[in-house]
Amino acid sequence: MGAPGSGKGTQAGAISQKLGIAHIATGDLFREAVRRGDELGQKAKSYMDRGLLVPDEITISMLLERIAQADCRNGYILDGFPRTLEQARALDRALEEKGQAVDVVLYFKVSTEELVKRLSGRLICRDCQAPYHPIASPPRVAGRCDQCGGELYQRADDSPDTVRKRIEVYFAETASLIDYYREAGKLTEVDGTKGIEQVGEEALAALSNE
């Protein structure tokens, strides 16, 4: 878990590679469905376009189907799920039926000021969506994506005022989830303000303690 700009996607990708487990990002699953244009995609799109959460019923069934696939047999890391208490409870119930449970919840903590700084400077590739930052991770050629040469642009919702709003919404929505996992003794807080490598080491250390 972590606010937009906390680096949780980057860290989830690195952890999935290091541990050889699946990386499941519900935002990516929804974006794929929208690209395919199927029923799930059509339903999800109207919510995503407005920056709203897709209803729990749709999100939970998509996620439970995904974690039932063969590549999840040895474990997986969830990124962007759960985002509501109902999702967290549904996940716990489904895992319990299989005699499983969530091992650990990593919470990447970054101050609002730092999040605003990171997101409002963020540049995204128009073609492959790779993220860059003028100071933290600049592209090799200004304005061009290192990976595909695509044009870099700033997302409309990455302006400082909108970023502040998105962060507010995130904290309002997920505060109860943080408490839920803290009370269950599963929450590990990671200082997300350090460099990518150091944060990664802290996250892996928290996982190996389990």
Q: Which is nearer to ligand AMP, 83 or 122 (CB)?
A: 83
Site size for ligand AMP (CB under 6 A): 15
Q: Which is nearer to ligand AMP, 28 or 144 (CB)?
A: 28
Q: Is 34 in the site for ligand AMP (CB under 6 A)?
A: no
Assess contact for 127 and 150: CB atoms under 8 A.
yes
Among the listed residues 6, 16, 59, 174, the single contact to ligand AMP using CB under 6 A: 59
164 is catalytic: no
186-190: Cβ within 8 A, 24+ apart: 186/102, 186/103, 186/104, 186/105, 187/105, 187/107, 188/104, 188/105, 188/106, 188/107, 189/107, 189/109, 190/106, 190/107, 190/108, 190/109
182 is catalytic: no
Closest residue to ligand AMP: CB criterion: 27
Min. distance of Cβ 109 from ligand AMP in angstroms? 18
Amino acid at 20: G
Among the listed residues 30, 107, 180, 181, the single contact to ligand AMP using CB under 6 A: 30
**Residue in 93, 126, 155, 165 annotated catalytic:** 155
**Residue in 166, 182, 186, 194 annotated catalytic:** 166
Among the listed residues 21, 48, 64, 206, the single contact to ligand AMP using CB under 6 A: 48
Q: Which helix (H) or strand (E) holds 188?
A: strand 187-191
Distance CA(184)–CA(162), nearest Å, equals 33
Please list the alpha-helical segments (H only) found in the chain: 8-19, 26-36, 39-49, 56-67, 85-97, 112-120, 160-183, 196-209
Q: Is 13 in the site for ligand AMP (CB under 6 A)?
A: no
122 is catalytic: yes
Residue carrying the six token digits 């696939």: 69
Among the listed residues 16, 67, 77, 83, the single contact to ligand AMP using CB under 6 A: 83
Min. distance of Cβ 188 from ligand AMP in angstroms? 20
Assess contact for 126 and 153: CB atoms under 8 A.
yes
Min. distance of Cβ 170 from ligand AMP in angstroms? 10
Strand-strand pairing, 123-125 and 131-132: antiparallel
Q: Is 26 in the site for ligand AMP (CB under 6 A)?
A: yes
Interface residues with ligand AMP (CB under 6 A) are 26-27, 30, 47-48, 51-54, 59, 80-83, 87
Catalytic residues: 8, 83, 122, 155, 166
